[in-house]
């Protein structure tokens, strides 16, 4: 009699246990793949301006030296922006260089192993000409705490979009930044660099006039406080929260 009851309980228990295991052990679905193709940076290597040498490294740092072999110090950070969905090494676009004091945007145009730098695309005056000495175009390989996906709230005094405050951001290791202003429906690509606590972004919409600069600091609650210090559209304040998968435009 006891064996019969035991088998009855076993048959009753097995389906329930199986259902619990299936629910608990079911793997999470894979996140949708990012169709982004890494941006190839044509400046990687050493260049000569006729008087000194410039080094642009894959980690986003650069330096100047009197000799081709260096030594090169960590004088500046750099990145390029050449438009939306660029899938080859661009021959023209914007080169942003900044150090602890200044941010400079150049318009660059590359022909062969020579690059001309101007104030803007339509400006007739050439600021500088660089000749490539060594190196090959390649994607940046950055390491910084911003790489990944974020959900962010912002505040811009006097702006009509404050009620649509949530943004999605995806910082990539190749120096590109995808953003989605959820309430307005604007989704677009930009480029960026982080030098210690200084974040610089250039691209489209509010990032298209001049490079936007900000100071970033991690808070005790794990969020990041981002306070803009340079922008023609007002100094926005942001609070970033790291997420596994941010919301994107369908």
How many C-beta neighbours within 10 Å does residue 114 have?
Answer: 12
Specify if 249 maps to a domain: no
Q: How confident is the model at residue 71 (pLDDT cuts 50, 70, 90)?
A: very high
Specify if 22 maps to a domain: no
Specify if 47 maps to a domain: yes
Q: How far apart are alpha carbons 95 and 120 in whole angstroms?
A: 11
Which residue range is the domain that position 194 belongs to? 148-243
Go through the chain and tell me how many residues it has: 250
CATH number at residue 184: 2.40.128.10
Specify if 212 maps to a domain: yes
Over residues 11-45, the pLDDT tens digits come to 444 444 333 333 333 333 344 456 789 999 999 99
User: Is the model's pLDDT at 245 over the cut of 60?
Assistant: yes
Over residues 89-109, the pLDDT tens digits come to 999 999 999 999 999 999 999
Number of domains in the chain: 2
Give the pLDDT confidence score for residue 35 in this predicted structure: 79
User: Which of 118, 138, 158 is the C-terminal boundary of a domain?
Assistant: 138
Say if residues 198 and 211 touch (Cβ distance below 8 Å): no
Helix ranges restricted to H, the chain: 2-25
Specify if 101 maps to a domain: yes
Give the pLDDT confidence score for residue 34 in this predicted structure: 66
User: Which of 138, 168, 190 is the C-terminal boundary of a domain?
Assistant: 138
For residue 40, what is the DSSP state? E
Same domain, 155 and 129: no
Give the pLDDT confidence score for residue 210 in this predicted structure: 96
User: Is the model's pLDDT at 243 over the cut of 90?
Assistant: yes
Same domain, 94 and 173: no
Collapsing DSSP to helix, strand or coil, 10 comes out as: helix
Same domain, 49 and 130: yes
User: Is the model's pLDDT at 51 over the cut of 50?
Assistant: yes
Same domain, 203 and 114: no
Specify if 235 maps to a domain: yes
- Higher per-residue pLDDT: 126 or 17: 126
């Amino acid at each position: 009699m006891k064996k019969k009851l035991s088998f009855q309980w076993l048959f009753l228990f097995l389906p329930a246990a199986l259902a619990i295991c299936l629910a608990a052990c079911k793997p999470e679905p894979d996140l949708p793949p990012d169709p982004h193709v890494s941006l190839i940076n044509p400046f990687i290597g050493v260049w000569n301006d006729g008087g000194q040498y410039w080094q642009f490294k894959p980690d986003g740092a650069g330096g100047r030296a009197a000799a081709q072999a260096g030594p090169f110090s960590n004088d500046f950070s750099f990145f390029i922006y050449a438009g939306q969905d660029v899938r080859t090494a661009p021959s023209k676009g914007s080169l942003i260089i900044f150090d602890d004091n200044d941010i400079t945007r150049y318009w660059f145009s590359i022909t062969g192993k020579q690059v001309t730098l101007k104030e803007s695309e339509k400006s007739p005056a050439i600021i500088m000409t660089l000749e490539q000495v060594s190196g090959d175009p390649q994607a940046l390989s950055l390491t910084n705490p911003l790489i990944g996906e974020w959900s962010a709230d912002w505040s811009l005094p006097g702006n009509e979009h404050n009620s649509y405050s949530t943004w999605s951001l995806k910082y990539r290791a190749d120096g590109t930044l995808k953003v989605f202003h959820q309430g307005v429906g604007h989704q677009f690509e930009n480029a960026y660099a982080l030098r210690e606590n200084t974040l610089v972004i250039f691209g489209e919409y509010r990032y298209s006039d001049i490079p936007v600069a900000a100071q970033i600091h991690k808070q005790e609650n794990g969020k990041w406080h981002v306070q803009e210090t340079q922008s023609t559209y007002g100094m926005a304040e942001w609070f970033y929260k790291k997420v596994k998968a941010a919301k994107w435009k369908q």
